[in-house]
Structure 1
Amino acid sequence: MLGAATFVMVTAEMLPTAVLPQMSAGLGVSEAQTGLLVSIWAGVVVVGSLPLVRLVRRIDRRTVVIWSLVGLALAAASTAFAPTYELVVAGRVAGALAVGLLWATTNALTADLVDERDLARGVAIVLGGATLGMVIGTPIASLVAQGVGWRATFAGLAVAALASAIAVRVVVRRSARPVTHPASTGTGGATDAAPQPTAQAGRARGIRPMLAVVALVGLLLVGHYGVYTFITRMLAEAAAPLPGGVGTMLLVFGLASAGGVVLAGRFGARTARALVVAAVATGLALGALALVGTSPAVGIVVVVVWGVASGAVPPLAQTMILQLAGAAHRDLAGALIPVVFNLGIAVGAGIAAGIVGGAGTAPLPAFGATVVAASVIGLLIVARSFRDASFGPLLPEGDRAHG
């Protein structure tokens, strides 16, 4: 059911892009103003996630997820009936605040509900919903907008968010691990009766390794999303001979990304090593975009590799960050994840737009590959620096057992 929540969240985030022409015409604004709704959303998530997580830090995480979904439903409904662009902006701001809290809490709740050895699989399942939101949710919204109108898509989103809240309430159990706070005394009825986490799962590994990985993942995302922002322009010639053109390439990329999410769930304790491999493959694929030219076959191969590798990065990165955080810093880790992903999108797209404006798309493959390579080098340096500080996920099982 948490996967259903992430499906709704991603669909909500990208919905204006799916209904861009209809929404612009209906509100009497330019398409650029409608597109700005996505940027406003990302900015609100970045600014609002950490304060909101701190505000609700003493509330059961499942309860926070449920009421955040209700808040998203109300925000979507208000957007569906908003008569002016200004009120739509207000609805999007409210929805972004709800989703920022949702992402942060869902990440932490996932870590609460599964053993650490199963965390990679749990995160991959939850993020599978997010991938489906991108691959299926937005295209369906586009079709609904063309047939019924853009307001119907936001009304449908409100219904879906409310249904997800009910499903989480019915299906998802309360956290199997207690919410830990520095000032907690350990008393409190049901919380005391909850099973305690294992030593490895509950141990805080220190905040520095987690923050270092968060920063390096953010750098990786700058390279990836910078290039992805202009994927349609870069693949236009190679996609031209294909049925469906660039749309087919984008579908291939989406399906490959879904495959990467599934693959990421199979790595378990080897999460960090797998993250490095996925980052290397992402960088190589970005660099290989320079070789695509007009060849559909080369384009498809590169897109598949890029999709699988970059699709595996989010679940692997989130798993690693949550593992390093331990129970003591889980709220902070959960809040940092949506912040760093949205910053990666915003910064990457901004830098790439500057490059394209000055020199076209030709330099983008080198830019993306170089930034991702810097991230990989940083991850390897951090792994060595914290080898003796319980930076366990980067070490082979045997090394950890004999360490």
Structure 2
Amino acid sequence: MTEQLPRRSGDHDTQRSAVAGRTAPDCLPWPALITMTVAVFVVVSGEMMPTAVLPQLATGLDVSLARAGLLVSAWALTVVVASFPLVRVTARVPRPTIIAGALLVAAIATVVTATTSDYPVAMASRLVAAAATGLLWSTINAHTAAIVPAGQIGRATAVVLFGGTLGTVAAIPAGNAIAPWIGWRAPFLALAVLTLMAAAAIVLVLRHHPIRREAGAGEIGTGARGRLRGLGPVLVTAALGGSLLVGHFIAFTFVAELLQPSSVPTPVLLLIFGLVGGGGVLLVGATTDRYPAAVPIVLAAAMMLSLVGLMLLGRSTVADLGVVLVWGVAVGGLGPAIQARMMRLAGTKHRTTAGTLMPVAMNLGIAAGSAVGSGVLEGASLEALAPVALIPTVLALLGFTVLAGAARGGTDRSGRLIHNRPTREPEIR
């Protein structure tokens, strides 16, 4: 008879986590992740498509370029306002149903946009699509984290958000290229068809990939004091990510003008910026699971250096290319790095809330950065944009550094704060 040694209470969890860690690369639900990548691709393309066809769209709706541009800025504001109420209303609906339903609504609204000649109708349809997209972002963020092993959240997030990069570097230039030939409505109609196809794919694919960890039911409606205690680090991370976007969009809103001093043609620099942004997504996906607190610091530092480089643009072709390369990688990796960090800090209890905070903080950062940049350009000069953009960027860098230092004294290996409790591996529930 073989004597069995007594087993400590934590052995089972440790063994289970070790097994999960060894098999994590083989356990990623690739069909689900790729399907959600397509969903992100179509919603990002839908958000930005007016910028690609703005002159033709303004003519078709018989409005000025400025009024046509409001179709983009109003979208961002709607996402900020509508996300939390819609998440509350749909709290008990299965996530795949929410994602598919949001895509269906966005597709119908896009058809309305493409077929109307009335500006108020176009604006109303854009607001409906934006509200649906805000709900989709909130849900898809949480669902991505819930269907993958704990140690692979960053990698899965990068895969899904790569769809946004594809929308920026592929769909938007394509829309811009074909609009002068066949009109601005065709890209919107094509996008509506793709969105319907994405909704169907979500229904067919996601049901075969159940969640591993369920976010707390009804978490949006729990007590405010307890919710804030649990969400403190998540809120700080969201605010710091938004601060980085403020700095980025103070400069990037007027990027064509800022790049003029370079001897490299501006379209070439912008193409490089978009392409290396995809590389930033992949780089973050490969590193953020191992270094969840360090990656945001590195990205913030890279963005700070690129803004300093903008002040010196035009002195060296090689340096100009380096500035754009570093800037593009930093901005491309920002979204997946911040989202993965927030999901880790939130744990399972607050994951849905964290998923909702992400698009709200990001869209606030975009809107605020664009507004501040416009104010600086009007009240000062083009040369003042980069120095002003450095302010929120440096603040975010300092904030991420402080947050990482605080977390080092009380986190588990997933990056979740544990407030000096004994460290252990995250459980797969």
1:167-182 to 2 correspondences below 5 Å: 167-172=201-206, 173-177=208-212, 179-182=214-217
1:217-366 to 2 correspondences below 5 Å: 217-238=241-262, 241-242=263-264, 245-267=265-287, 268-293=289-314, 295-366=316-387
Segments of structure 2 that go 5 or more residues without pairing to the other structure are 1-34, 220-227, 417-421
User: Which residue of the partner structure matches residue 94 of structure 2?
Assistant: 60
Contact 1:58 1:179 in 2 (8 A): no
Q: Which among 64, 72, 79 is matched to residue 106 of structure 2?
A: 72
User: Which residue of the partner structure matches residue 145 of structure 2?
Assistant: 111
User: Which residue of the partner structure matches residue 379 of structure 1?
Assistant: 400
Q: Does 314-323 or 146-155 show the bigger shift?
A: 146-155
Q: Name the amino acid aligned to 1:236.
A: Q
Instruction: Output the CA distance in 2 between the equivalents of 1:97 and 1:255.
Output: 29
- CA shift for structure 1 position 360: 1.3
- CA shift for structure 1 position 144: 2.4
Q: Does 288-297 or 152-161 show the bigger shift?
A: 288-297
Distance of aligned partners of 1:318 and 1:149 in 2 relative to their CA distance in 1, 3 Å threshold? same
Q: 1:211 and 2:235 equivalent?
A: yes
Q: Does 37-46 or 376-385 show the bigger shift?
A: 376-385
Q: Name the amino acid aligned to 2:312.
A: L
Contact 1:60 1:175 in 2 (8 A): no
Q: Name the amino acid aligned to 2:187.
A: T
Contact 1:16 1:23 in 2 (8 A): yes
Contact 2:148 2:212 in 1 (8 A): no
TM-score w.r.t. structure 1 length?
A: 0.89
Distance of aligned partners of 1:391 and 1:220 in 2 relative to their CA distance in 1, 3 Å threshold? farther
Deviations 1:342-380 (A, max 9, x none): 101110111111111122121222222232111111122
Q: 1:44 and 2:78 equivalent?
A: yes
Q: Percent identical across equivalent pairs?
A: 39
Q: Does 43-52 or 309-318 show the bigger shift?
A: 309-318
TM-score w.r.t. structure 2 length?
A: 0.84
Contact 2:345 2:415 in 1 (8 A): no
User: Which residue of the partner structure matches residue 28 of structure 2?
Assistant: none
- CA shift for structure 1 position 387: 4.0
Distance of aligned partners of 1:394 and 1:331 in 2 relative to their CA distance in 1, 3 Å threshold? closer
Instruction: Output the CA distance in 1 between the equivalents of 2:98 and 2:304.
Output: 37
Q: 1:370 and 2:391 equivalent?
A: yes
- CA shift for structure 1 position 141: 1.0
Q: Name the amino acid aligned to 1:250.
A: L
Contact 1:108 1:330 in 2 (8 A): yes
Q: Does 223-232 or 386-395 show the bigger shift?
A: 386-395
Q: CA RMSD in A?
A: 2.1
1:130-149 to 2 correspondences below 5 Å: 130-149=164-183
Instruction: Output the CA distance in 2 between the equivalents of 1:255 and 1:391.
Output: 35
- CA shift for structure 1 position 333: 0.6
Q: Does 256-265 or 366-375 show the bigger shift?
A: 366-375
Segments of structure 1 that go 5 or more residues without pairing to the other structure are 185-203
Instruction: Output the CA distance in 2 between the equivalents of 1:282 and 1:141.
Output: 29
User: Which residue of the partner structure matches residue 99 of structure 1?
Assistant: 133
Deviations 1:121-147 (A, max 9, x none): 101011111001011111111122122
Instruction: Output the CA distance in 2 between the equivalents of 1:221 and 1:400.
Output: 33
Instruction: Output the CA distance in 1 between the equivalents of 2:322 and 2:403.
Output: 32
Instruction: Output the CA distance in 2 between the equivalents of 1:376 and 1:102.
Output: 29
User: Which residue of the partner structure matches residue 7 of structure 2?
Assistant: none
Deviations 1:73-102 (A, max 9, x none): 001011111130010001101100111011
Contact 2:91 2:218 in 1 (8 A): no
- CA shift for structure 1 position 49: 0.6
Instruction: Output the CA distance in 2 between the equivalents of 1:389 and 1:175.
Output: 31
Instruction: Output the CA distance in 2 between the equivalents of 1:183 and 1:359.
Output: 48
Q: Name the amino acid aligned to 2:377.
A: V
Deviations 1:233-262 (A, max 9, x none): 110121xx44xx211111000011110001
User: Which residue of the partner structure matches residue 189 of structure 1?
Assistant: none
* SS of equivalent residue, structure 1 residue 269: coil
- CA shift for structure 1 position 385: 3.3
Instruction: Output the CA distance in 1 between the equivalents of 2:95 and 2:174.
Output: 31
- CA shift for structure 1 position 26: 0.9
